[in-house]
Amino acid sequence: MDSLTHTLLGAAIGEVILGKKIGRKAMLYGALAGNIPDLDVLGIFFLSDSQQLLFHRGITHSFFFAIIISSLAGWFSGKLFINNKVSTANWGLLFFAGIVSHLLLDSLTCYGMGWLEPFSNHRISFNTIFVADPFYTLPLLLCVSIAITAKNNSPQRIIWNKTGLWISSFYLLFTILNHEYVYYVMEKSFKEQKLFSDDFTVTPTPLNNFLWIGYSKGNEGTWIGYYSVFDKEKKVDYFRVQRNDSLLIPFENNEPVKHLKQLSKGNYIISKEDSVIYFNDLRFGQVSGWNNADAPYAFKFNLSKNADNKRALNRTKYETSTWAVLASLVKRINGK
C-alpha cells in the first residue's frame, strides 16, 4: 500500500496502544512504526534496478525483521524516553504492531511479500486490494485527522480513532470476500469456455475493488480477462497473449531476467518495441486494458544494457492521459 495509508494505520494503532499514556505523541510513533518496513527503498543507492525490485518487500517485510526491529526500537525508546507510565514492553508492542500492520496490509496486494525471509524467499500475496485504494484510505484519513485534533484522552478522540479502524477493517473484509466471489465467477467462466492453463489468478484494477483482471498462464502464453461486479452477464471475454520467450534468447544468462522471473512468479510476457525488448509483469495488469486488449502493461522493464528502470512499474503513465484512463476505468466499472 502507499505511504499515506501506512502512516494513517500506524497512527491509529499507536493511539490504541499508547494514546492514554502519552497522548497524541502515540500517533506520531505509530506512524513512524508503520513506515519502517519501507526503509528498503534505500536499496536504490546500492542495488541494481532488478535487485531492488526483489529487495523491496523482502527482508524488511518479514516477521523476523518485525521481531528484531521492534525489540530494539522498544528497548531504545524505553531508555530514551524515561516515563513511568510506559514500559519497554509497551514501546516494543507499539513498534511491533505498527510494523506487522504494514506487513499484513501489503500482503493483500499483488506485489508479493517476503514474510519468511531470510529462511525462505517464497513471496506471499493475496491479491485482494490494489496498492492504492481510496475506498480504504479516505475514511481512515478523515477519522484519524479528527482524532488527532481532539484533546488527549477525550471521548471524541477515542471514538473517532476506533471508527476509522472499524470502517477500514470492514472494508478489508469486504475486499477479501469480494475476491472470493470474483474468483468464482471468473474461473467458472474460464472453464465453461474450455480455456485451460496452469493456474488462475484474479486481482483488482487500479484504485477500486469492483473491476478485476483475471489471468491464467500456460507454457507459451496467458489468457487475460476483465470482470466488473456490475456486469450484467457473468461471461468473461478472455483474450490470449503470447509469452514470446524466443525474444529472451539473447538474454539467456542475464541476471535481471532471472530476478524478474522470480519476482513475477512466471506471470510475464516479452514484447519488442522499436527494437527494444521489454519484460512485462502481468500481475500489475494493463494501463486501460479493460478497453483495449493491446494496451501496454503497467510494469515494463527495459532489458537493454544500462537502461534506466527505476520507473519500470507504470512507466506508461507518462505516455497516457491520466484523466482519459480514469474516465475509461469508471465507465468500465459501471459494467457492460
Query: pLDDT-derived band of residue 109, with 50, 70 and 90 as boundaries?
Result: very high
Lowest mean pLDDT among 103-112, 137-146, 322-331: 322-331
**Cα 293 → chain centroid:** 24
In whole angstroms, give the CA distance from residue 65 to residue 242: 39
Q: Look at residue 318 in the predicted model and tell me its pLDDT.
A: 47
Contacts 24+ apart (CB under 8 A), 114-121: 114/57, 114/58, 114/59, 114/61, 114/62, 115/61, 115/62, 115/63, 116/62, 116/63, 117/58, 117/59, 117/61, 117/62, 117/64, 117/65, 118/59, 118/62, 118/64, 119/64, 121/58, 121/262
In whole angstroms, give the CA distance from residue 144 to residue 136: 13
Per-residue pLDDT, averaged over 158-181, amounts to 97
- In the chain, the N- to C-terminal Cα span, in Å, equals 29
Q: Which three cell numbers stand for residue 266?
A: 512466471
DSSP element (H, E) containing 141: helix 134-149
Q: Look at residue 319 in the predicted model and tell me its pLDDT.
A: 58
Does residue 214 register a pLDDT over 90? Answer: yes
Q: Which three cell numbers stand for residue 7?
A: 502512516
| Digit-coded pLDDT (tens) for 278-293 | 999 999 998 888 988 8
Indicate the pTM of the whole model.
0.93
Q: Positive or negative, the Cα torsion across 309, 311, 314, 319?
A: negative
Q: Positive or negative, the Cα torsion across 327, 328, 329, 330?
A: positive
Per-residue pLDDT, averaged over 320-325, amounts to 78
Classified as helix, coil or strand, 222 is strand
Does residue 274 register a pLDDT over 50? Answer: yes
Q: Contact at 8 Å (CB) between 264 and 312?
A: no
Q: Look at residue 9 in the predicted model and tell me its pLDDT.
A: 98
What is the phi/psi pair of residue 97, to 5°?
-65, -40
Q: Contact at 8 Å (CB) between 37 and 117?
A: no
Q: Contact at 8 Å (CB) between 95 and 74?
A: yes
Q: Look at residue 317 in the predicted model and tell me its pLDDT.
A: 54
Q: Look at residue 292 in the predicted model and tell me its pLDDT.
A: 84
Beta bridge partners of 288: none
Q: Look at residue 239 in the predicted model and tell me its pLDDT.
A: 93
Does residue 326 register a pLDDT over 80? Answer: yes
How far are the Cα atoms of 56, 117, 261, 264 from residue 120, in angstroms, in the given order? 15, 5, 17, 17
